Amino acid sequence: MSLLTTAAAAAELATAVDLQAGAHRYRLRPGAPAVMGIINTNPGSFSDTEHLASTGAQLAMAMAMVDAGAQIIDVGTDSGVTHGEPIDVDTQIAAAVPLVRELVARGVAVSIDTPKLAVAEATLEAGAAMINDVSGLAEPRIAAACAAHGAALVLLHTRVGHKQEAFLSFDDVVADVEQLFSERIAVAEAQGLPRDAIVLDPGLGYAKHPHDDVEVLRAYPRFAAHGLAILTGASRKYYAGVITGAEPPERLPETLATVEAVRPYPGFVRVHDVDEVVRYLSVMETLEGLRPLPAVDTSIARLKWVTPTG
């Protein structure tokens, strides 16, 4: 038994969660998170190894993630990296809306990573199914916009403004996360958003010291008690790099460890390395009986051993 618990044991502690996100409905089960792939339309991500400048390149990458098993694509419109200059709202909209339209036309569920009401409204009009509000709902009208479009809303825990660099000092970081969740859920519902359209994100790395992130990860059973889906930004996190010394682009093992830590709780894992995470989850879920073993064709030699080349 791990420090956090195993997915099989946690199935007794958490139940499946239904989430309505635009035209998409998710049945999120303990032990089997949905994978959210990350595509940035801005050049400032802390961990992207390259920036895809054109809508065509972004679309190709997003569809490759969908083919690999991503169940939703999160489109970043303005990086949260604190040392970068903010991108004006009109530029964000002009970059994001064409990509959203292309993805929606292909039946892909799209989430928009933004704290800006204007960006949220424009991308919802274009068909986005979810707004990933990285401000912690500083602007309540974002919840109203989601309600008006039948979209889902992610409530992220943070106590600082967008692009503000800080490691806050918490008396009890877990209690602070729980307090903000309770407050913001009430605000979202007051704006007309149904409870089954709300997702919680404990905000790993958002103005939190790595020690805080570890405490937050250990407290997931408390957050799951809300009975809502949990979104975890699992990809290439600073706290894990502190543990191993690996730089952001090299943190695939660290990403998989974070995915495993939160896997017992129904929700989404937001990652860059979609193919690797989906394959990892396929094995773990099969071992635990959450999905069947595929049909076995013993004649396929490439699955058995290395085939010499040249």
Catalytic sites, residue numbers: 237, 270
**Cβ(210)–Cβ(242) under 8 Å?**
yes
Using the structure block, give the residue that is written with the tokens 């010394």. Answer: 245
